[in-house]
Amino acid sequence: MQRDAASAHHRRNLNTKFLDLDGGKWAGKAKTLEIRSSNFCVPTLLSSEEIVLPPCVDRKFEVMLVLQSMTSGACMSVLDIPLRKALQLFYAPQPLRRKILKEDIRLDRRKEAGGTRSRGGDFYLPFWSDVKRHISGDCDLTQLTDDRMKSNRNFKRLYPLLKEGVLELLSAKLRWSNEPVEIVPQSVHGTLRIEDLGGTIRIKDALQARVRGEYTRIVYPYFSEEPALPEEGGRLGLWVMQQALTELDPGDMRIIDALRRTFFAPQTTPLQGNEEAVFRENYMSLIGEWERLKHE
């Protein structure tokens, strides 16, 4: 991932400490190190397990690099986050953002205590699966949505709204309603790793459609009831998709906000060139708030 001028400036202003690893290994009681800059702080708990390093590795490491290796594999909600959730948190009103982060912290602690972060599965996954079946012509989305609501009363309020939004997008805006569309069986997944912030942005289960046998579209859904996805958020989402799904054509990327019946595409919402800097600024702010709330 290329770094912009803002991120280079950020790295230069880090108050970077060094960890001297005696004899090529680190062992001992759990410790907390901090990476600090003028506007955020990331305390990270180091594992107490012994870490053996290759003899060719220099004894001194920037703390950021040490933290990356020692915390790899640890799944923390903000540092390992779906794209749609990151976009929701970037633009959510402060009370909602705080509520979501506090709930994530509670689930993280439950997992650390030996429990699970699960809250019964992804609420939107059955609906998105039905959308794929509808587009491929296997079933009717209206009937599928009715069946879902009969099976689970929790779907009764939002699923009809999502259904109407998707149907309008398909017919009036994406113009797929009368087109032969083939859904590629394997969904599209990808990740964008932001190394110096220790974060991973995930794209999961994007729809890949072949229209008229002539062109392909990669569609990623934004489902959140609040907030609506603004134009800037659409551009940031498209930028992440293009960075994470490098084997696909950047011009084929689409993000839909089903509840608002809107979509974003590079042709209608062209990138302005500052998306990486804006995304990093928002993500850094999110990490900082998450850390502060953990210590309240």
Count of CA atoms in the C-beta half-sphere (13 A) of 23: 5
What tokens were used for 228? 């609506």
Q: Average pLDDT in the 13-18 region?
A: 31
How big is the chain, counted in residues? 296
pTM summary value: 0.73
Query: In this structure, what are the phi and psi dihedrals at residue 252, rounded to the nearest 5 degrees?
Result: -90, -5
Which is higher by pLDDT, 22 or 272?
272
Q: In terms of Cα–Cα distance, which of 204, 94, 88, 181 is closest to 135?
A: 181
Q: Average pLDDT in the 209-215 region?
A: 80
- Crossing angle, helix 275-294 and helix 83-91, to 10 degrees? 80
Helix-then-strand count for the chain, H and E: 9, 13
220 near 254, Cβ under 8 Å? yes
- Condensed to tens digits (0 to 9), the pLDDT of residues 48-68 reads 333 333 333 333 332 333 333
Reported confidence tier of residue 179, pLDDT bands at 50, 70, 90: low
Reported confidence tier of residue 287, pLDDT bands at 50, 70, 90: very high
What tokens were used for 79? 């540092």
- Give SS3 for 44: strand
- Condensed to tens digits (0 to 9), the pLDDT of residues 250-277 reads 999 999 999 999 999 999 999 999 999 9
Q: In terms of Cα–Cα distance, which of 82, 182, 169, 84 is closest to 132?
A: 182
- Crossing angle, helix 94-112 and helix 83-91, to 10 degrees? 140
| Whole-number pLDDT of residue 175 | 61
DSSP lists the bridge partners of residue 178 as: none
Residue 253 to residue 261: CA distance in whole angstroms: 17
Give alpha helix (H) positions in the chain: 5-12, 63-71, 83-91, 94-112, 125-135, 141-151, 158-168, 231-244, 275-294
CA pseudo-torsion sign 37, 43, 44, 50 = positive
Give alpha helix (H) positions in 113-157: 125-135, 141-151
Which is higher by pLDDT, 118 or 257?
257
Chain-wide mean pLDDT for the chain? 76
Residue 219 to residue 241: CA distance in whole angstroms: 10
Residue 144 to residue 127: CA distance in whole angstroms: 8
CA pseudo-torsion sign 117, 118, 124, 129 = positive
Residue 184 to residue 94: CA distance in whole angstroms: 39
| Whole-number pLDDT of residue 178 | 60
Count of CA atoms in the C-beta half-sphere (13 A) of 258: 23
Return the top range by mean pLDDT from 15-24, 120-129, 199-208.
199-208
Q: Average pLDDT in the 73-85 region?
A: 78
Return the top range by mean pLDDT from 106-120, 135-149, 224-238.
224-238
Element at 199 (helix H, strand E) = strand 199-211
Query: In this structure, what are the phi and psi dihedrals at residue 210, rounded to the nearest 5 degrees?
Result: -110, 115
Indicate whether 69 pLDDT > 80.
no
| Whole-number pLDDT of residue 163 | 96
